[in-house]
């Protein structure tokens, strides 16, 4: 039956489905899913003579029907050695690092593996890099979509699983694939190291995993969730990782990742995350910092005479942070600049540690020290974002842009937040941000460098261009 043969769902019914999908799988359906979901649901309603509520109740009890439904609402696009630079990072940096720890085995997880190409790529690369070294490895592959997992287990792949990105690792697949009519079939040896399991990353406890992971690939999936769900899932994944383990997202998703236990790493222009070592020690350190911070606040409050008499100009602050330039003429003013700079560093640290309350306190102090500027609104936006208040975050980023329309960090996160709501608006926002970034880079400006958490502005431009490409398709 063609799409047009079924009437479109009522907006009200689509909203009911959206809440069902969000609560059960964490996926945010947008208006772009409307036509496809309408068609699927109406065909099923006609099949069962159900109304929508009855169909959703039926789904909860009927696994087979739920699998069909999940297949209709998920995007399973994937291919072998996708974003091949990640595999280069594994080969040249991560595997040698893990070997140096004198481990005897490593555990890898492809956390939303779809039809399995990512898990197979990981397994063949591990085979290539580790087999001769008497180093054992296992690759777990999980996904919500059991129909995709069935495809994976059939071991049959079409030409669509091979793209030019990934071509340089194609030679690793050849020993494990045999021609099967116009397709390729996986040889049985590959299954020795692969463990395939259904998993709803939001709802499941992950209890079927035997031990901590050393490498996790969780790529091209965060985009279907909102900030709150990302945060919940990320916490669960990080809990399952060993200290010092590695976590990969697609490069366009990296700026969505905020987690106090993860530090960002860079290797030849590719970004990934490593779980901080010794989590317990870290907690003690955070506690110590908290005590020190409270002490400083106390001193600052008691020395109210020392409060800056003159508000600091933001450009002077930038001169101080970025160019280390100080005009020693006005001692009192320089002290104020110094205090504001220390305060700004603390805000960024608290945001990094996802400590919403502390970062808000500090930002409040900071805003009393400096003349109003776009960075204050941008930072409130960042804090609201880690606090999962997307509406407020959006308002603040907008205010930052009203203050300074060239404030590209605010424009960038505004575009990222829009991804969850409206891809056309988001495409427009990424295009505007990319233009701003090009002007900023052409000027050779470093104005916002302290906000970039170790990334450079070219990286943000690259992410914008990736999203523009994806959303244009
Ligand atoms: C675009 S594919 C990503 C495949 C692969 N990781 C890659 O980068 O090529 C996204 C996958 O996320 C899965 N997914 C969506 N929500 C999920 C959830 N709540 N739990 C587990 N998997 C989920 C979908 O079923 C889909 O297979």
In a domain, residue 78? The reply is: no
Please give the average pLDDT of every successive group of 10 residues along the chain, which has 473 residues.
57 89 94 86 86 92 96 96 97 94 91 98 95 87 97 95 96 92 90 94 88 94 92 93 96 88 89 81 56 47 48 78 60 77 88 85 89 92 90 95 95 92 90 96 88 86 94 85
State the distance from the centre of ligand 1 to the C-alpha of 116, rounded, in angstroms.
10
Q: Is the domain of 367 the same as that of 250?
A: no
Per the structure, the count of domains in the chain is 3
Q: Is the domain of 156 the same as that of 105?
A: yes
In a domain, residue 250? The reply is: yes
Domain C-terminal end among 245, 260, 278: 278
Q: Is the domain of 115 the same as that of 262?
A: yes
The CATH number for 445's domain is 1.25.40.10
State the distance from the centre of ligand 1 to the C-alpha of 457, rounded, in angstroms.
29
Q: Is the domain of 8 the same as that of 104?
A: no
In a domain, residue 190? The reply is: yes
Kindly report the protein residue whose alpha carbon is nearest to atom 7 of ligand 1. Answer: 78
Pocket test for ligand 1, best of 66, 73, 114, 202 (most atoms within 8 A of CB): 114
Copy the structure tokens of residue 42.
């109406």
Domain C-terminal end among 278, 296, 321: 278
In a domain, residue 410? The reply is: yes
* Dihedral (Cα; 108, 112, 117, 121), 10-degree rounding: -20
In a domain, residue 287? The reply is: yes
Using a 6 Å cutoff on CB, does residue 120 contact ligand 1? Answer: no
Q: Is the domain of 39 the same as that of 114?
A: no
Q: Is the domain of 188 the same as that of 271?
A: yes
In a domain, residue 315? The reply is: yes
State the distance from the centre of ligand 1 to the C-alpha of 113, rounded, in angstroms.
6
In a domain, residue 79? The reply is: no
Q: Is the domain of 371 the same as that of 407?
A: yes
**Ligand 1 atom at minimal distance to the Cα of residue 79:** 9
Using a 6 Å cutoff on CB, does residue 224 contact ligand 1? Answer: yes
**Ligand 1 atom at minimal distance to the Cα of residue 218:** 6
Q: Is the domain of 274 the same as that of 327?
A: no
pLDDT of res. 230: 92
Q: Is the domain of 384 the same as that of 307?
A: yes
pLDDT of res. 328: 54
In a domain, residue 146? The reply is: yes
Q: Is the domain of 200 the same as that of 291?
A: no
Q: Is the domain of 32 the same as that of 181?
A: no
The CATH number for 115's domain is 3.40.50.150
Domain C-terminal end among 40, 73, 106: 73
Domain with 235, as residue range(s), is 84-278
Q: Is the domain of 460 the same as that of 370?
A: yes
């Amino acid at each position: 039956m063609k799409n047009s043969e079924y009437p479109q769902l009522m907006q009200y019914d689509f909203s009911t489905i959206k809440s069902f999908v969000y609560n059960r799988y964490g996926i945010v359906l947008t208006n772009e899913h409307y036509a496809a979901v309408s068609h699927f649901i109406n065909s099923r309603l006609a099949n069962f003579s159900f109304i929508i509520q009855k169909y959703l109740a039926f789904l909860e009890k009927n696994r087979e029907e739920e699998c069909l439904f999940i297949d209709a609402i998920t995007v399973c696009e994937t291919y072998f050695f996708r974003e091949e630079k990640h595999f280069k990072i594994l080969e040249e940096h991560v595997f040698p690092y893990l070997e140096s720890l004198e481990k005897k085995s490593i555990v890898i997880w492809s956390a939303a593996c779809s039809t399995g190409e990512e898990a197979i790529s990981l397994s063949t690369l591990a085979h290539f890099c580790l087999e001769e070294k008497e180093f054992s490895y296992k690759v777990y592959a999980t996904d919500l979509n059991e129909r995709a997992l069935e495809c994976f287990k059939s071991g049959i792949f079409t030409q669509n699983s091979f793209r030019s990105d990934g071509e340089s690792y194609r030679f690793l697949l050849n020993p494990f694939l045999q021609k099967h009519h116009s397709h390729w079939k996986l040889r049985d040896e590959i299954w020795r190291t692969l463990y395939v399991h259904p998993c709803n990353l939001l709802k499941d406890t992950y209890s079927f995993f035997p031990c901590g992971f050393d490498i996790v690939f969780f790529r091209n999936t965060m985009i279907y969730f909102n900030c709150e769900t990302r945060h919940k899932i990320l916490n669960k994944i990080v809990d399952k990782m060993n200290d010092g383990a590695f976590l990969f997202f697609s490069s366009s998703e990296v700026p969505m990742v905020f987690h106090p236990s993860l530090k960002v790493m860079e290797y030849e222009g590719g970004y990934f995350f490593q779980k901080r070592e010794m989590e317990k020690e870290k907690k003690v350190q955070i506690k110590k910092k908290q005590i020190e911070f409270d002490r400083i606040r106390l001193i600052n409050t008691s020395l109210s005479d020392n409060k800056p008499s003159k508000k600091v100009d933001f450009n002077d602050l930038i001169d101080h942070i970025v160019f280390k330039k100080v005009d020693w003429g006005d001692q009192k003013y320089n002290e104020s600049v110094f205090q504001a700079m220390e305060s700004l560093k603390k805000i960024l640290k608290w945001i990094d540690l996802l400590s919403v309350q502390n970062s808000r306190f500090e930002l409040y102090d900071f805003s009393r020290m400096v003349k109003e500027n776009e960075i204050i609104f941008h930072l409130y936006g960042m804090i609201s974002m880690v606090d999962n208040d997307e509406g407020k975050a959006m308002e603040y980023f907008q205010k930052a842009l009203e203050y300074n329309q060239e404030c590209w960090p605010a424009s960038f996160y505004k575009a990222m937040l829009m991804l969850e709501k409206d891809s056309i608006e988001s495409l427009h926002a990424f295009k505007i941000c990319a233009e701003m970034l090009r002007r900023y880079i052409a000027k050779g400006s470093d104005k916002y460098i302290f906000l970039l958490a170790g990334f450079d502005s070219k990286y943000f431009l690259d992410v914008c261009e990736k999203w523009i490409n994806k959303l244009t398709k």
